[in-house]
Structure 1
């Protein structure tokens, strides 16, 4: 089973890397802060009873297999819908979001973790949505909770991922060319222009990869570059507890409570291209304030 395509999918290593901001990390300079400090309102998942009995593990495996089958079915179904909508690019974007809302919600229902969502009123604006990333569950939640009219950004090679990659392209999501810095810079400019022209939102993981421990990693700079070019606000999404629910390299999904919190939008209209590092640090510090000690970066 370790070598099967199902296990590779479930671990989500390649898929998650597609949505990372790592490819945007060294493109350009940027900005000045003009933000109100976030009010600290912590709400963390409660303790849960961890059951490692063979029965619990078996049920967990059945849930994961059901998730895989469900995702393959909905992906195939929406691929057919996208083919019908080929002449209408924006309609395909909206259908891609409908696919995410349906599939993400179904997957979370199958997994059965208790979920608390806060600040949902901040998810109704055109924005650059960013999220910390420590579990495959983060992707399911992002699919479900990001608003209609939101696109992801991935490396161009995603098209070769069976079924999902083709659906990603059909849904008119954005891809970047990471083959060299010049191509990457141009891809980012094109992505920003597309977002502004079509009045879209964007979702991105600023850490650039999944945290192995659940602790927040340093942020890449890509989301700031896009904000500078689009002038869209940044809406942080703080995920708490997902790393406990589905740990890295595990096929055991535990019943850990999950908290998803949308923070107030961070305005970027007055940002300038000379303070990228300041903006990255400010947004990173905002996450640190809203995470429990177990998910905060270790002091160096």
Structure 2
């Protein structure tokens, strides 16, 4: 089943989404640059820029794509909610079906949006691990739904059950929830979540920045955990704490270009190229609690190394470890 899940996510990527999953690809993804005002954009293989085309026709097409995405997502959510109800006696199978929902829905939404995608490091895409990724666009959500392996769970506040339809599907899919009513209960819930991950051979997905970047540039990694998919409210313990408790390796996923494709606070999706790069898993079996800041800095530096210049922090904004929750 694990192999079939991986094949489901990666097979026919080139034909379906104009994607390459070859980890050794050296060429830069094409970007669109205007030759002159009023002319149609042309392709450039080297520029780290993307110039918007905000004419009425691209804007109208973007609105149509977003509406189709919303309607399509509601349809698949309803279908999988029915499947989950039938699988109530089998909790782990519900986790797997939740991932299948994500693979189908995320891939479908990216196809509707139409952005060219390149995938690198696909050989690391089916590890049992803690997956982390930079976050600068709603598109990041679609990508992690599609590209994280079968057996991956998110962690959300227990109140998520009140989110219409999606919240109920989240609970039915047996994803993890924690009690944030007070710090003691929150910490206990996080520890229990880590034990559940180990006990059921699951993976996790986390945004280490703790919020979405407004301009695509990397933000400081936080010691507090961001709930993926649902909210920008962090918890008391972050991915390093979860790694210390679970001893799972960490697989960084580096997203490039999503901030240009769909900007924070906007409703205009642009045909900017996107790259998803899986980095080699980082073992955590020998990590110790007294070096948490060092591990966070190491992970931040790794992202800075692999991000393009346009997404690296400015010299005056070099990421520092954040302990804020």
TM-score by length of 1: 0.84
Q: Which has the larger radius of gyration?
A: 2
State how 1:136-147 maps to structure 2 within 5 Å: 136-147=138-149
Distance 2:301 2:239 in 1: 15
Range with bigger deviation, 178-187 or 96-105: 178-187
Distance 2:216 2:302 in 1: 17
Distance 2:27 2:244 in 1: 31
Work out the number of aligned pairs and report it. 261
Matching residue within 246, 250, 254 for 1:234: 250
State how 1:61-210 maps to structure 2 within 5 Å: 61-210=63-212
Deviation at 1:45, TM superposition (A): 4.2
Deviation at 1:43, TM superposition (A): 6.9
Change (3 A) 1:173 1:113: same
| Alignment RMSD (CA, Å) | 1.5
Deviation at 1:269, TM superposition (A): 0.3
Deviation at 1:46, TM superposition (A): 3.5
Q: Which string of whole-angstrom CA distances, capped at 9 and with x for unpartnered residues, describes residues 137-171 of structure 1? A: 00000000000000011122211111001100100
Q: Which residue of 1 aligns with 2:217?
A: 215
Distance 1:220 1:43 in 2: 33
Change (3 A) 1:99 1:55: same
Distance 2:184 2:313 in 1: 32
Q: Which string of whole-angstrom CA distances, capped at 9 and with x for unpartnered residues, describes residues 104-141 of structure 1? A: 00000000000000001101110000000000000000
Q: Which string of whole-angstrom CA distances, capped at 9 and with x for unpartnered residues, describes residues 194-245 of structure 1? A: 0000000001111111111111111122000000000000000000000000
User: Does the residue aligned with 1:275 lie in a helix, a strand or coil?
Assistant: helix
Greater relative contact order, per chain length (Cα 8 Å cut-off, separation 6+): 1
Q: Which residue of 1 aligns with 2:262?
A: 246
Change (3 A) 1:194 1:288: same
User: Does the residue aligned with 2:290 lie in a helix, a strand or coil?
Assistant: coil
User: Does the residue aligned with 1:237 lie in a helix, a strand or coil?
Assistant: strand
Distance 1:156 1:208 in 2: 18
Q: Which residue of 1 aligns with 2:283?
A: 267
